[in-house]
Amino acid sequence: MLDQEFCMQNLHFLLDKPDEPIFQRNPDDFLKTYPYTHVGNTLLIDNMPYKNMFNSPYSTIFLESFNNHCGEDQRLIGFVLPYLENLHSFGYGVPTFVEHNPFCRIRCID
């Protein structure tokens, strides 16, 4: 992804890791290398909300970290895929969709 030199350092710290600095990525710096791609049409997926605290609101959804053991891979098919399908058919930008449709509110019906 991006080296720390392309990130800004946050002066805050995590309670469980007080000696480690926090670096924030600016998605605009990364996305400017791709034509027609910007924060308004890109959904970021992360497992650490603190890394996105300075990003545009409603640009990121968060998943808990998981490994592919014990059938946890169904989480992507059961939660993320229906969310992305609804985003695609919504017809507006990512921030508008995420604001009106918080992640995990749309679920796959068993």
Q: What is the pLDDT of residues 29-47, one digit of tens each?
A: 777 888 888 878 888 888 7
Residue 88 lies in a domain: yes
| pTM (two decimals) | 0.68
Q: Which amino acid is at 93?
A: G
Does 22 fall in a domain?
yes
Inside any domain, residue 107? no
81 occurs within a structural domain: yes
Is residue 86 in a domain? Answer: yes
| pLDDT tens digits for range 71-97 | 556 767 777 888 899 999 988 899 999
Whether the per-residue pLDDT at 5 is higher than 70: the answer is no
Domain span at residue 65?
4-100
* 9 bridge partner residues: 23
What residues have CB less than 8 Å from 39, skipping those under 6 apart?
Answer: 27, 28, 31, 55, 56, 59, 94, 95
Examine residue 110 and state whether it is found in any structural domain, yes or no.
no
Q: How many domains does the chain have?
A: 1
